[in-house]
Amino acid sequence: MNDPTRTADLESYQRQGFGADMALPAPYALLIIDLVEGFADPEIFGGGNIPQAIAQTEQLLAHARKQGWPVAHSRIVFADDGADANVFSLKVPSMLTLTEHAPRSAIVEQLTPVSGELVVRKTLPSAFFGTDLAPWLTFHGVRTLLVAGAVTSGCVRASVLDAMNHGFRPLVVSDCVGDRALGPHEANLFDMAQKYAVVKPMAEALGLLHT
């Protein structure tokens, strides 16, 4: 069923010039954000549609590896003693439990990085802020960055904005990102599609790249 409010919103955005098409030139890379055990577990940081996003990302990762694309993963990792606590952990104190060797901080088994894939450790939402991700992508000549991970309204959105700020063209693979609540997930997909990124499900996204 069509949502008249959503249709009216989209018409308003389009009338004002948002949501333009954007070319997605090669070379490509894949960024998988925070798909760790804690975000896979609804009793810790997970829930919503994150399990489905993990399952889809497993397929996307296999495709990226087959194509030979650079692949980067991110993890939230705080010091064991919380010495690097920040405003993010003030708002979400339980983030401090994501330490280097905590099981909840480990990347889920089905997405385990292989040799040559970058693993970014961060203490803030964006995978770019204070990390080597941007220069690593630049070194590999990347122009279009496919984005998967969790959560859509938080670390995914922050990373997409910073990808754009660094001049990379974000392609958010909509069925490979998830959130613990579907309302923020859908709202942020809509907003990113209008302002910052191309947003497509995996089949359509890969079709765009191989056309």
3 state SS of 208? helix
Quote the CA–CA distance of 172 and 67 in Å, as a whole number: 18
User: Which among 61, 62, 41, 59 has a CA at the least distance from the CA of 50?
Assistant: 41
Quote the CA–CA distance of 28 and 142 in Å, as a whole number: 6
Beta-bridged to residue 99, according to DSSP, are: 78
What kind and span of H or E run contains 137?
helix 133-139
**Can you read off the two tokens belonging to residue 86?**
């920040």
Q: Which residues are catalytic?
A: 155
